[in-house]
A = this chain, B = another copy of it.
Amino acid sequence: MQSYEYVVVTDPEVMAELAPLWERCVDAYLATIGKYAPAGMDEAAYGRMVAAIEYQRDHFAETPARMAEIQERFAALAEGSCVYPGVQNLLLAARGLGLAANITIWHLMLEEEWKAALGIPEDMHTFAAVPVGWPRGDFGPVRCRPVEEVVHRNRW
C-alpha cells in the first residue's frame, strides 16, 4: 500500500511560522524524558545530542527543507507501516547526497497546531518531521546496536 503524502517546506516564511511550534516541542522534551540519556547511550554522547538539538531549535527557521510525512488514517492495525519505510528511503537518499537528515516525531506533541500551520486536512495523520540540511561538523556513520543483541533465532 502506498497511502502517504509529503509536505516539503522550503519557504523561509513557512519555516518561521513553524519555528515556535518546534521550540515548544523541544523544550517539552528536554524538560521531561529528555532530562536523562536514553538506556544504552552514554552521558557524553547524550550531551552532544542535546547540544545538537538546542542548536537546531535555535536555528530552526534556517533549516533548508523540512518534510512532513502524512498518511490518511486508514487502519489502526499498524499505523505507520506504509509511511516509515518511505521515511527511511528519504534518509538514505539524503545521506547519499551528503545531506544531513533525521527522523523526528516530536511535532506530534502539538500535532493539531502543525497541521493547522501547514493546512493539512483534519482526517490526515502525521507521522514524522524530517529536517534536511547541510551537515555542520562531523556527520559520521550511524551507530547500530550489535546484531547479537537484536536478533533471536527461530524463537525469542
**Chain A residues close to B by CB (< 8 Å):** 1-2, 4-11, 14, 38, 40, 77-81, 83-89, 91-92, 103, 105, 108-109, 118-121, 127-128, 143-145, 150-156
Contacts and interface: CB of A to CB of B under 8 A. Distances in A.
A1 B38 contact: yes
Given A7-B151, A77-B109, 16 more contacts: A2-B40, A2-B144, A4-B150, A6-B152, A7-B156, A10-B154, A77-B105, A81-B103, A81-B105, A83-B84, A84-B84, A84-B87, A85-B85, A85-B88, A86-B88, A88-B89
Nearest to A38: B1
Contacts of A120: 156
